[in-house]
Structure 1
Amino acid sequence: MKDRQNAILALKTLSKKYKHEVGTQSMTLLANILQDDQIDLQLSQLILETLLNIITYDADSDKGVLLIMVYCFVFNTFVCSLEQLSLSQDISVQFTKLYIKNKEHVHTVLELIAKTNFNVRCSAIRFLTALLTNYTPKLQDIIYESGPVGFSKLLVLLEDKNDVILNDALSLFKILTRSNAYIQGVVAFENGFERLLQIIIRKCSRNEDVIITECLSVLLNLLENNESNQMCFRGNSYIPRL
């Protein structure tokens, strides 16, 4: 068991710089281990952090390419630099598609979000947010298909008293609720407006503007171009409270 942890720790270190190599060789293997072994929470955390490195587009890693573009006057070289920049982003999306090819892998992340271990929950929320960022419509469909059980694991995050968890959860909901009327409807039906307003009321007394702003962004997503949610919001007298 210790040898396996050390091996994955090494992969995590390598994945920061060698996303393509680590992802190509180990993405499916890591996803399967994560799905099959959720008892070892430290191992789960390491795998989630490694997977996050693999699918996260790192703009800083392309600074060298950008500098070349600034000083480049030869057309062919300029095109090559643009292709390099595009390739880095494309790799992140391709590895995201590989991970979610098996929907159970996404369900595993939802299960890990429901764990009580702080580090595992944080890592799972951030990984799911990265998946959503890279391939929003498909991830929205998978989460919607997970039904009430899947949504309950996410919505309970809005009641978490830990600001790190709460802030990460709001970042996730900003993407999850974007331009998807079905998900917007589920969140509203599952008392989403009340949960968000409770956060705003609680944080207003402490002048915690960042979290309040995030809540308002999610509220805007839920209401924008959604007549049913707008009627619900007005009908429950949320406007005076806001």
Structure 2
Amino acid sequence: MDFFRRYMISKYDKEELSGTDIVEKLVDRFQSASRTEDKRDSLRTLKALSKKYRLEVGTKAMPVLIEALKTEQEDSDSVCYALESLYFVMDDNDSEQVDAHELINVPPDLGSQFTEIFIKQPENVALILCFVDVSTFNM
């Protein structure tokens, strides 16, 4: 009977990936990618997930986003995706756009906590200020 059951289960009955799993896969994909396009795609998807999965993106992907700002400076799209992801993770005002039932166990000052973590390293602040100084950067 297990033989038939295995083939009769629909794809919707299978367990869906959690937000943490998705973010971890994207982080791994970014770190193992050698092409700029692959890194850009990972950053684009992280940006899209950063509103709904703020906690996961902030805890798992913040080092990757900072690395992208350091290493992908020539690619304005990658820089833009990384900056927007950091913005969504650190902004406490934007959380009102997400349904309350999706933010279970998320503290109301999560953005402030991520901001404190980010600015503890002065080179992160200097990195952001470098992008403010660049006049050709499109935001």
Name the TM tier (shorter chain).
Answer: 0.5 to 0.7
Matched, 1:105 2:124: yes
TM-score w.r.t. the length of structure 2 is 0.64
CA distance in 2, matches of 1:45, 1:21: 20
Alpha carbons of structure 1 residues 113 and 29: separation in structure 2 relative to 1, 3 Å: same
**Is the contact between residue 51 and residue 98 of structure 2 (CA under 8 Å) also seen in structure 1?**
no
RMSD, matched Cα: 2.3
- What is the CA distance between 1:36 and its match in structure 2? 3.1
Q: Which SS does the other structure have where 2:108 is aligned?
A: helix
Identity of aligned residues (%): 31
Alpha carbons of structure 1 residues 10 and 103: separation in structure 2 relative to 1, 3 Å: same
Q: 2:96 aligns with which of 52, 55, 60?
A: 60
CA distance in 2, matches of 1:62, 1:2: 29
Greater Rg over alpha carbons, structure? 1
CA distance in 1, matches of 2:82, 2:42: 11
Give 2:108's aligned residue.
88
More RCO (CA 8 Å, sep 6+): 2
Q: How many residues align?
A: 101
Structure 1, unmatched stretches of 5+, are: 66-83, 121-242
Higher helix share: 1
Equivalences for 1:93-172 in 2 at 5 Å? 93-120=112-139
CA distance in 2, matches of 1:115, 1:33: 17
Q: Which SS does the other structure have where 1:119 is aligned?
A: coil
Q: Which amino acid aligns with 2:42?
A: A
Structure 2, unmatched stretches of 5+, are: 1-35
- What is the CA distance between 1:60 and its match in structure 2? 1.4
CA distance in 2, matches of 1:28, 1:61: 25
CA distance in 1, matches of 2:42, 2:99: 30
CA distance in 2, matches of 1:115, 1:98: 25
Deviations 1:130-161 (A, max 9, x none): xxxxxxxxxxxxxxxxxxxxxxxxxxxxxxxx
**Is the contact between residue 34 and residue 47 of structure 1 (CA under 8 Å) also seen in structure 2?**
yes
CA distance in 2, matches of 1:59, 1:33: 24
Matched, 1:29 2:64: yes
Q: 1:13 aligns with which of 48, 51, 54?
A: 48
Q: Which amino acid aligns with 1:88?
A: P
Alpha carbons of structure 1 residues 28 and 43: separation in structure 2 relative to 1, 3 Å: same
CA distance in 2, matches of 1:41, 1:33: 11
CA distance in 1, matches of 2:63, 2:99: 29
